[in-house]
Amino acid sequence: MIVQPVLVVAAALFSLGIYGILVRRNAVMVLLSIELILNAVNINFIMFDTMLADVLMQGQIFTIFIITIAAAEVGIGLAIVLMLFRNRQTANINEFDLMKW
Amino acid sequence: MEIFEIVTYFVLLLLVSTAVRVVTTSNVIHAAISLVFTLALTSVLFLLLSTEFVALVLVLVYIGAVIVLFLFGIMITRAPLGKNAELDNDKNKKLGAAIAGSIFFLFSYILVNGFEGEVVITSGSSTELLGEILLSRFVFPFELVSFVLLAALIGGITLARKDEALIDEDQV
């Protein structure tokens, strides 16, 4: 299997995630875009792990840790969004300007 | 070998198209469902690279748990279901596309030039070895991650719970 197409697709997923973060207005949609970025990173890790044929399989182990941390991040992120929604009655990030100077 | 390559390219093509749908659709539920397809296709890609344990973890944790959390979040924050023109910030669209496009071209230029002619030789199953390594050499980070999950659990409960003290203050 040739390496380049997979890496280019991972780069495409990463930039689509960046686009989603910049453009989306709903905070839950921004969290979805962050998941897309983490997924691109996972693809890169697995690809390089298989390519280098690492004896310790550090790419796969790191990917498992990333998936775990991502699950924790989503839990906390959605709790924060929920809290903001309860206080402001909206989930639009352009209306959260409490810390804006 | 020929059919293997065709399947890989097909999976990659579908992966990009579903990911585009996640960030461009104007329907929140469709975005979450498209993310399910993106993750499922990523899992297929991992299977093609013969890393079956990570593929199964991805399906279990992401499609099983994270997407359900997202759907809960969408329902609870009362994001308008169905088409919603207010979902995107139109002012940022051109800037976002420019930034994302330049990042993509920079990355793909570097990756295509840096890994020219590299090929992957997939070996067979590796789950047994992975488990041994995870629970011997990487056992300390493994246990540490479980504490991170515990902290996230407690933090999530504390954040999402109604604050009793605040309610009392309002009533008084």
Does the residue A85 lie in any domain?
Answer: yes
Does the residue A78 lie in any domain?
Answer: yes
Which pLDDT value is given to residue B81?
Answer: 66
Does the residue A6 lie in any domain?
Answer: no
Q: Identify the CATH number of the domain defined by range B1-87.
A: 1.20.120.1200
- Shortest CA gap A95–chain B (Å): 12
- Under an 8 A CB cutoff, do A1 and B66 touch? no
B22 touches chain A (CB under 8 A): yes
Taking contacts as CB-CB distances below 8 angstroms, the residues of chain A near B19 are: 12-13, 16, 36
Residue of B nearest to A90 (CA): B77
DSSP secondary structure, B40-68, as one string:
HHHHHHHHHTT-HHHHHHIIIIIIIIIHH
Partners of A92 in the β-ladder: A26
Number of domains composing chain A: 1
CA–CA gap between residue B147 and residue B126 (Å, rounded): 27
Reported confidence tier of residue B119, pLDDT bands at 50, 70, 90: confident
Over 80: is that where the pLDDT of B105 sits?
yes
Over 80: is that where the pLDDT of B94 sits?
yes
Per-position b or e across A72-88, b if 16+ CB within 10 A of its CB? bbbbbbbbbbbbbbeee
- Under an 8 A CB cutoff, do B103 and A18 touch? yes
Q: Which position has the token pair 């011997």?
A: B136
pLDDT tens string, chain A, 101 residues long: the values are 788 999 999 999 999 999 999 998 888 899 999 999 999 999 999 999 999 888 888 999 999 999 999 999 999 999 988 888 888 888 888 888 777 76
Does the residue A72 lie in any domain?
Answer: yes
- Under an 8 A CB cutoff, do B39 and A39 touch? yes
Structural domain of A68: 26-92
% helix, strand, coil for chain B, step of 5: 80, 0, 20
Does the residue A73 lie in any domain?
Answer: yes
Does the residue A55 lie in any domain?
Answer: yes
Choose among A33, A14, A83: nearest CA to B32: A33
Does the residue A69 lie in any domain?
Answer: yes
